[in-house]
Structure 1
Amino acid sequence: MGLEGVASGVMIKEVLLKLDVETLCSLACVSRSLRFFVYQALSLFSTLNLSTFSPDAQTVAHILGRTRTNGGGLLKSLTINCLRLDDSCVPLFLSPHLHELNLLSCSLLSYHLLPSIRETCPNLRVLTLELVEQDSPKIFKCNLVRMLKGCLYLESFCLKIRGTGDASTLQSIEFFLPKTLKILKLQPLLEQDGIHVINQLQFDRTFSETADFGIISPLGPCIPLQCLSLGLDIISDDLIILITNSLPLLIELDLEDRPHQEPLLHNDLTNKGLQSLGSCHHLTSLSLIRSRRNHQVSFKRINDMGMFLLSEGCNGLESVRLCGFSKVTDAGFASILHSCQRLKKFEVRTALLLSDLAFHDLTGVPCSLVEVRLLSCSLLTCETVKKLACSSCLEVLDLYGCRSIADSCLRSISCLHRLTSLNLSGADVTDHGISILGQGSSPITHLCLRGCKRVTDEGLSLLLNSGTIGKSLSALDLGYMPGISDKAILTIAKVGVGITELSIRCCFYVTDSSMEVLAMKRRFQDGSKPLRRLDIYKCSGLSVNSIKSLKRPLFPGLHWLGIGHTRLTGKGNAILTEIFEERPWLTLCLDGCEMGCHDGWQFHIPEYRWS
């Protein structure tokens, strides 16, 4: 190879190193020359993210094998979706070189994975585990302790157990955490177990390798925790006051609870608990979420006074997320907006008393808001959106469930030059308003119009055929929109060149012709990207024949397809079996999950190679 060839090879490798794994694998199929350069690029990767799809064991072995050849072994960070991987795959992705390991959606991995991590990855700094609740909590506790004893350099530890949600798996566990720990995320926990964990964080617990639970020195310096996230059954004053007294260096606090019943008055969060947060002088991010389980619950002992005390004591907050504060009015929420001068992210959910008045004087204060989420706040109208539009920095605007949002504010939204994500789910917008949004200059990549019943095929055509949004859009949600039919889907296939995620769930007038045009989306226009994820849940207009659109070479690159409650779900279908064999990366969801199965992967059936 001459000097020119060497230079070209170096340039090609530099370009390939900037691409994601999916694109690299596609390029490797083009020619032998490109395959050679792809393999070389993979061997130089220090960070690998395999979370956007669910690889099987063969794919994982092939990709990770290439990172360890040609002088490789440089891989320091690995994130992987383990939905299809069992215990036999563990040796494939564990390595002593890893400093960061994120194992997501571990539906088939057992608790025996934990000691393997300790033995193979002693240098871990970051560890994230999403496991399924199993029938052996004693084995889990024993293996967790063994693992933590071997991970002496952990700076970040995130453990999520998905299952019944009764917190039995993490109950009464001794967390032997290293002094280096800065980030801790655990769920689900009972409140008393959360208190037990915080008490453990106050001490440096040196332990013996020969004893499973032996503690040599129970006293020592406090672990310098900076970020704490807990999923609980109840958030109480006792818990928050303990946190503020025990963790003086705390920067981020994220607490979410899901009470089984209405909390008792003596064991709930009150204004006193909020006031105690003022002693966390370094706190910049606060999230307090009370989610409904079987019935509507809220923090009934917190009112505007609690918000006044919080905003006065924590005026350095840059991110605030609140849900379940049913007794707080405009005055309480406005105090946060006015007192926290550096506020960049503001989220409020299900605030029954929040109205436009909370944002009335927003133009009179310095506004650096980057992300605003106001979910299911029924009293908000277009006036609030117009006030928020004064923030030229706004990148995310989520108005999910705000049903009084209408066309009159869409012109203000269309002028936001940095807006990349917009959620108008359930809004009272029409084709006219959507056309105004399309004529704007907002570089929106994620747009949700779910439940916008007055938007039709014509409105979608006006949206995508004018302005910049037709080129910038990558994810579009048109679920539960009766005005959407095959005509709109044809527009998306021809004009939405960058759209890779599409939800048309419960669009009853979508038929087989829509599947056909979406299957060939990449062929309509040069530079058009194929769909990666498609949700057709409850699209009753599709016949069983539409399953033929899933055969190769149609739908190139499709990784996830939601087909629950359609005629495509017959497990005995020979074509479906053939599709499974020729598309090992494709996940079919029959359970009605939202895009990517982030909300229900632990309940899926692995033996059919669908989720």
Structure 2
Amino acid sequence: MGRTIDVLHLEELLSGCTHLETLILMFDVSIFLHQNFALVWALASWKLTSLEIGYISSVMVAELLSPAAGPSQSSNHCSTILPNLQKLCLSVDYITDIMVSTISKCLASLTHLDLRDSPIMEPRMAFDLTNNGLQQINAHGKLKHLCLVRSQEIAPVYFKRVNDLGILLMADKCSAMESICLGGFCQVTDTGYKTILHSCSRLCRLKVFYGTHLTDLVFHDIIATSLSLTHVGLRWCNLLTNLAVARLVSNGELSVLDLRDCRNLGDDALQAISTLAKLRSLLMDGCDISDVGLSYVGKGLMSRSLVSLSLRGCKRLTDRCISSLFDGHTILELRELDLSNLPNLSDAGVLLLAKSRIPISALRLRQCPLIGDTSVMALASMQIDENVWHGSSLRLLDIYNCGGITQLAFRWLKKPYFPRLKWLGVTGSVNRDVVDALARSRPYVHVATRGEELGTDQWDDLDGIYLQDYEEVDELEQWLLGGDNMSDEEMEDGADVADLFE
């Protein structure tokens, strides 16, 4: 789509929308000529407070905010473009000192800054972020949310020119910060992270990617701070142990906890987490937990509030983990469950899940070799209400690359089964004709066949518990409203299937 859009379209958009408050450009804007791209933003509404761009070069960012500046003064001169912008989210080629400095100086009303890059190679000094750049952040003192992430998606590249001193200089200007996300800072140690915890007294959200030097010591005396953390993410922090989690849960207000890929966390961590009475979302992908550890979840205080649980890649889990979670129907609020990449989870475990009658909306079982047709049949037969059969409550089902799925399963993915379904992940390379026919017969269902993830990453959207927008009308609603008539045969199938697993 980006190739069909030029700077004239952008000019028409900005000049025509005089009351525009939020703008999201989800494409590569580097296709525009740099000079024209910068100048056209003078037409933007003064009411524009939020801007998100899918991809833009760091050079274009500087030119956008200071189009009238000469080459020697681009980082010091600021125009009145976007004078009231409060939120800026950019994916760039490189996060640099010049770009950060320009943003900080030119956007006087900025409260939310989200910058992410994913370099293909180690950047040179002029195209990198250093301690000096961090020192420029929050020049106007209004910043509440800061996100600086160097992704590892393309190559293992880090912010190697930032150390504890840079974090100290940043924290000194960001004491009123409420949300901080740092990713790829491989030279920052416990000293730097503790500085954030002890300097930013209003901090309620902390996320760290690839904290290669982050250890338990960061949280050793967290109880002595005045922090009231509600959202914490510590992903790919492999030096953390159960002791860190035991200290962290002293923040009893925690509602979202992301500990994915922390390989040394185990059952003792789950036992500590189970004491959190307000926890809504827990992500433990790749952790060293067992069925016994999950029994703490089912019996703990968190069982009354937990809505989303992800256990992807926890290799020690077996079918017993389902019994540990759902015996006694203790986790009544659970709506999202990720059991992907579990080599020991079989159809027997999914059958137990179906019998629990928990109204789950999103279930991910991708890459489970022992999951097959029986699981699909059981989920299709899942009855929530004893008196009325309206089929499974699932709106998202991901069974991509499950080992036992055959053409038989696709019969159970047709109408009237899964009437609420909006998103379906299956393997498209096998039985291509069957998959295509299914997609045509269920126009309200988005069928993904190439292994793409369904839904957004909770790391990127910790405000929302649900990963998908389910506001669109589904097949069941169409049927109940009389807009989609089921055949008599389909209605009889629906009535019979409710009794299959009684």
Q: Would you say same fold, with TM above 0.5? A: yes
1:366 maps to which residue? 226
Q: Distance in 2 between matches of 1:258 and 1:449?
A: 27
1:392 CA drift (Å): 1.3
**Using a 3 Å threshold, how does the CA distance of structure 1 residues 170 and 502 change in structure 2: closer, same or farther?**
farther
1:201 CA drift (Å): 11
Structure 2 unpaired stretches of 5+: 70-77, 459-502
**Using a 3 Å threshold, how does the CA distance of structure 1 residues 592 and 223 change in structure 2: closer, same or farther?**
same
**Using a 3 Å threshold, how does the CA distance of structure 1 residues 374 and 169 change in structure 2: closer, same or farther?**
farther
1:441 CA drift (Å): 2.1
1:160 maps to which residue? 26
CA contact (8 A) 1:494 1:525 kept: no
Q: Distance in 1 between matches of 2:51 and 2:400?
A: 36
Q: Distance in 2 between matches of 1:409 and 1:537?
A: 30
Give matches, 1:181-330, under 5 Å. Answer: 181-200=48-67, 223-330=83-190
Q: Distance in 1 between matches of 2:274 and 2:457?
A: 30
Q: Specify the code of the residue in structure 2 equivalent to 1:545.
A: L
2:45 maps to which residue? 178
Q: Distance in 1 between matches of 2:397 and 2:414?
A: 15
Which ranges of 4 or more aligned residues in structure 1 deviate by more than 6 Å? none
Q: Specify the code of the residue in structure 2 equivalent to 1:236.
A: T
Give matches, 1:529-544, under 5 Å. Answer: 530-544=393-407
Q: Could you list the per-position Cα deviations for residues 27-60 of structure 1 after superposition, in whole angstroms to 9, with x for gaps in the alignment? A: xxxxxxxxxxxxxxxxxxxxxxxxxxxxxxxxxx
Structure 1 unpaired stretches of 5+: 1-131, 203-217, 600-611
2:449 maps to which residue? 590
Normalising to structure 2: TM-score of the pair? 0.83
SS at match of 2:91: strand
Q: Distance in 1 between matches of 2:326 and 2:277?
A: 17
Q: Distance in 1 between matches of 2:344 and 2:54?
A: 41
1:479 maps to which residue? 340
1:466 CA drift (Å): 3.9
1:526 CA drift (Å): 5.7
**Of residues 4, 14, 35 in structure 2, which corresponds to 1:148?**
14
Q: Distance in 2 between matches of 1:315 and 1:596?
A: 34
2:494 maps to which residue? none
Q: Distance in 2 between matches of 1:389 and 1:313?
A: 28
1:200 CA drift (Å): 5.0
> Is 1:550 aligned with 2:413?
yes
1:423 maps to which residue? 283
CA contact (8 A) 2:189 2:214 kept: yes
Q: Specify the code of the residue in structure 2 equivalent to 1:551.
A: K
SS at match of 1:254: strand
CA contact (8 A) 1:235 1:256 kept: yes
CA contact (8 A) 2:48 2:82 kept: no
1:187 CA drift (Å): 2.3
**Of residues 360, 363, 367 in structure 2, which corresponds to 1:506?**
367
Normalising to structure 1: TM-score of the pair? 0.69
Q: Distance in 2 between matches of 1:393 and 1:321?
A: 19
CA contact (8 A) 2:83 2:108 kept: no
1:133 maps to which residue? 2
CA contact (8 A) 1:562 1:592 kept: yes
> Is 1:338 aligned with 2:198?
yes
Q: Specify the code of the residue in structure 1 equivalent to 2:2.
A: E
2:497 maps to which residue? none
CA contact (8 A) 1:537 1:566 kept: no
Q: Distance in 2 between matches of 1:169 and 1:452?
A: 45
CA contact (8 A) 2:395 2:423 kept: yes
1:118 maps to which residue? none
Aligned length: 442
**Using a 3 Å threshold, how does the CA distance of structure 1 residues 539 and 583 change in structure 2: closer, same or farther?**
same
**Using a 3 Å threshold, how does the CA distance of structure 1 residues 169 and 374 change in structure 2: closer, same or farther?**
farther
Q: Distance in 2 between matches of 1:329 and 1:473?
A: 36
1:186 CA drift (Å): 1.4
2:254 maps to which residue? 394
Q: Distance in 1 between matches of 2:121 and 2:96?
A: 14
**Using a 3 Å threshold, how does the CA distance of structure 1 residues 295 and 577 change in structure 2: closer, same or farther?**
closer
